[in-house]
Amino acid sequence: MLSLLLIILAATFFTGIIIRTKSIASGRKGPGIFQPLRDVMRLFKKGAVYSETSSFVFRIAPTIYFSSVFVAMLVVPFGQSKGLISFNGDFIFFAYVLGLGKFFSIIGAMDTGSSFEGMGASREALYSMFAEPAFFILMGSLALMTGHTSFQEIFSTLHLGSSITYALGVLAAFVFLMIAMIENSRMPIDDPKTHLELTMVHEVMILDNSGFDLGLILTAGYLKFAVYGAIIFNLFSGSIAYEYAIPLFFVMQAFLAIVVGMIESFMARSRMNHNAQFIVVLSSVAILIFFGALLVSGKFI
């Protein structure tokens, strides 16, 4: 329950810090940190508009997408405390419940009959497919190091006590952060501010969503960033007491948001045909972590 509350609180400012960082880096004042939250609240007060050519799939897709992210939040632990959902192999459940939401968002975009939205849905499906091996190789490596297969047990028994393990932890944090960028269609995979349909990915998928439905989609994106931030925090939290862990959690979330903002400020979006290559490289980094885990656990022969 504690993890759920902390993730929701972190989600209220995570995207705002990203936008503020990008504004400062470009020499502008920019909106307030809580402006994305105010935008979402305004959308929740509006009604949704549906095309006559769309079916019930388009209407339920945003709700299922948001629900999948919320259920995934319940799996993420906080330090020594378990998530509301915890069992052996729960990281597999975490990945595929997010995949379920992504599936409905994709078919919801295709249900509109728009060629542009279908193109964006195809790209998002491809990028998610390429990011999946990196996640499972990484989690399998952490399971190998700790001898456990649930989020809480992996993170509670993961001790970074040597230079090799700290290097593996930094690489793991990098992979998780890049997966979060891919899952949220951010730089260098996609530019959330672009307005050219031919090069858009996630934004072109939600062109027909409006009002309450659009608010759900945006909120799910904010929560997903905070979820991956919580996972990265758990990599380094160990057995820190709660009175120190909770402030450090928010510091880590703010730091990650600043990092994302700096990446998007100084890195151009990759060419569309290079995105798949970039994502596959993450699997290579995850394989490097796997070999490091074999070395640390004494199973490398």
Q: What pLDDT shows up at residue 195?
A: 67
| Exposure on the CB side of residue 240, measured as CA atoms within 13 A | 18
**Helix (H) or strand (E) run with residue 98 in it:** helix 90-111
Distance of alpha carbon 151 from alpha carbon 41, whole angstroms: 32
Torsion over CA: 39, 107, 7, 226 (sign): negative
Q: What pLDDT shows up at residue 199?
A: 66
Average the pLDDT over 221-237 and give the result: 89
Is the predicted pLDDT of residue 299 greater than 90, yes or no?
no
Residues of the chain above pLDDT 90, percent: 14
Is the predicted pLDDT of residue 82 greater than 70, yes or no?
yes
Residues 6+ apart with CB under 8 A from 60: 104, 108
Placement of tokens 């705002």 in the chain: 16
Residue 50's alpha-carbon distances to 56, 68, 104, 192, 207, in angstroms, are 10, 22, 16, 23, 11
Q: What pLDDT shows up at residue 25?
A: 84
Pull the structure tokens for residue 75: 């799996």
Average the pLDDT over 216-232 and give the result: 90
Per the CB < 8 A criterion, the answer to whether 285 and 171 are in contact is yes
Short-list 142, 102, 141, CA closest to 123? 102
Query: pLDDT-derived band of residue 223, with 50, 70 and 90 as boundaries?
Result: very high
Is the predicted pLDDT of residue 88 greater than 70, yes or no?
yes
Pull the structure tokens for residue 54: 């769309």
Distance of alpha carbon 150 from alpha carbon 90, whole angstroms: 5
Q: What pLDDT shows up at residue 205?
A: 79
Q: What is the pLDDT of residues 123-182, one digit of tens each?
A: 888 888 888 888 999 998 888 888 888 888 888 887 777 777 788 888 888 899 888 888
Per the CB < 8 A criterion, the answer to whether 149 and 89 are in contact is yes
Short-list 85, 134, 128, CA closest to 105? 128
**Buried b vs exposed e over 123-147: b needs ≥16 C-beta within 10 Å?**
bbbebbebbbebbebbbbbbbbbbe
Distance of alpha carbon 97 from alpha carbon 95, whole angstroms: 6
**Helix (H) or strand (E) run with residue 297 in it:** none
What are the CB-based long-range contacts (under 8 Å, 24+) for 21-27? 21/257, 21/258, 21/260, 21/261, 21/262, 21/265, 22/261, 22/264, 22/265, 25/261, 25/262, 25/265, 25/266, 26/265
SS3 53: coil
At 81, phi and psi to the nearest 5? -90, 135
User: At what angle are helices 56-73 and 2-25 packed, to 10 degrees?
Assistant: 110
The rounded Cα 184 to chain-centroid distance in angstroms is 6
Q: What is the pLDDT of residues 168-212, one digit of tens each?
A: 888 888 899 888 888 887 777 777 776 666 667 777 778 788 888
Q: What pLDDT shows up at residue 53?
A: 81
Distance of alpha carbon 233 from alpha carbon 248, whole angstroms: 8
Q: What pLDDT shows up at residue 165?
A: 78
Is the predicted pLDDT of residue 97 greater than 90, yes or no?
yes
Q: What is the pLDDT of residues 41-70, one digit of tens each?
A: 998 888 888 888 888 888 899 999 999 999
Q: What is the pLDDT of residues 231-285, one digit of tens each?
A: 999 888 767 777 788 888 899 989 998 988 888 888 777 777 777 788 888 888 8
Q: What is the mean pLDDT of the chain?
A: 84
Q: Of how many residues is the chain composed?
A: 301
